[in-house]
Structure 1
Amino acid sequence: MKHNKSTCLCCLLAATVIGGATVTTADDAGNGASDFYAYYTRLEYDDHNNTGQYADLIVKIGTDGRFVFCREFSYLPYWQPSETKYFVERLLPVTGDGPPERPDAINKCSYVRLIESSPDKIVVHWRYAPDLNSPHFTDFQRTYSGDIGSYFADYAEEYFTITPDRRVTREVKKGCYRLNEWNDPLNKITQILELTASGIKVLSTTQARLQRQTRDPVAGAPAVKQGVESPALWMRFDEALSAQEDFTKESVKGAKCRIGGVASYWRKGVSGTCLSFDGYTSRVTVPSRELPNIRGDFTIEAWIAPQEYPWNWSGIVDHDLDKRAGYRL
């Protein structure tokens, strides 16, 4: 377990994940009869007290060797059957503010945690930021636009499942903005490794690929088909009555409008189905070429159901020209 003294966005995100972890030390691990175990420790690497007492993690595999995740190498694991260290291959390129062997100089955005430890398998989770030179890290104040979802893609997750026969299943997931892409079971690199006396043997590598998936229909209410008057623009949000994608249609001109944000949250509505907005990333954008050319007075109507009391202005419709002219409801 690692505790950084510096405070930044990535540290706060990490803290929410590891705050409830249970620490197993070398003394605790050695008390059992098994010679296959994992434990937190602190290896001899001076990081100027930037981390806590149990900042490194070791998986001991009998007398064959140990699989090590340590601060000195930003937690890129290595297999050590003797004095020699054999590192796993970097499957995602990493750049940062440190030397090549430790691209995250003080490991402010890198950590490991022990997920499972049993006689049959040990699972270790490694989280890191592949591009620490991104403006999201170097100039957060300037790049933050209110869409926190844009930062989800800045991190990568790796899971190592290690078994007593020295086999390792490695799963690598690159961060995604869209939740459906992140949850796609095929959107990950999978490697099968064998830890030998002379190094690490790659038995197989399966590359990540995205599936084109549609989600199940939503059981909506009877849909209203006609308005009181003929509208100039009408968003029904009834697409979820059939298999959905991340688009909705404007009903007057039939313009296809993308649903922005990390996910499309479809729900049952008063009429047909509706969209739920997360308050951070969700939005529907009508292309400017599809907007009605209104010269006189007009009325905007919306059916909304706030889920909580807003602490600031809560926009429903926003139409502007580079923030210099327009209107907002």
Structure 2
Amino acid sequence: MSGPLLSVDGLVKHFPIRGGVLQRRRGTVHAVNGVSFAVEAGQTLALVGESGCGKSTVGRTIMRFHAPTAGRVTFDGRDLGSLPTGALRAVRRDLQYVFQDPYASLPARMPVGEIVAEPLAIHGIGDRGRRRDRVRELFDLVGLPAEAITRYPHEFSGGQRQRVGIARALALEPKLLILDEPVSALDVSIQAQVVNLLARLQRELGVAYLFIAHDLAVVRHLAHRIAVMYLGHIVEYGDADTVFTHPAHPYTQALLSAVPVPDPRLRDPGRRRLLTGDVPNPADPPSGCPFRTRCWKAEDRCASQRPALEIRTPSGASSACHFAEEEAVVTP
């Protein structure tokens, strides 16, 4: 296959707002507005931004949990929007999803061994004995004891449940995992363990990740490329080292300045960027640049002209800002 494993071009997803006795349409939530990016085989693209910016909607629309309003999603050379239900089901063997909440994403009345084996049964892979052997292999792969396959989800900790979710997603040997904030519901110490597990699995299995997160520190050592999202738009896009060390968009600079730096000697209060105000309502987004209502660089043109995502820095990063500039950031 030539080209990226996953290509998203101009993806749009709007949700209607309905009300009244007749449930008439009263407005539109602009959740995703023209998002484009690519994920290479065996690599990680981190899609980051504040809660409510549309990250999870992008992941769910790629999976066709939501029907896209516009745009195109191509996976492994196939246009997912044009596939009938049967063909899409076959594609999902190679494209799997790990949900954010390890408590809600596992059926409470099924032993975890059956949960992990369920994808194999749905796709008719192996008999009961072979599926049981495969479940034991997967448990060993994600660091769970084989004897745990008879237990129920409530008998596991949050980190262990997320390992079960990862094992279920890996059961069909997919080419790409969409990880929807897989560590945000976990304790900080457990977050590091799960991130290290994902890094090891990528090295051993060659699986690609679309890693959705709101915390840039979480993806620091895992991402190859980063797309920063704000109010349904990608505002910065580039390789991870460039985005972390020389962010060009004011929003990216603010996100990075919020990352805790444990060594006081590396802290620079002069580079601190504190955002004011709230994220605008996606049902009534601002004109022009979506970030202008909270940006310290905003001028009159920002209200009338929405900047395109273009290469605006010497390092080759793309930024959707009229005044984009590289800003060195000291990171741990």
Q: Is the pair's TM-score, using the shorter chain for normalization, greater than 0.5?
A: no
Question: How does the TM-score come out when normalised to structure 1?
Answer: 0.26
More helix by share: 2
Q: Could you say which structure has the greater relative contact order, defined with CA pairs below 8 angstroms and 6 or more residues apart? A: 2
**Higher-Rg member (1/2):** 1
Which protein is richer in strand relative to its size? 1
- The TM-score normalised by the length of structure 2 is 0.26
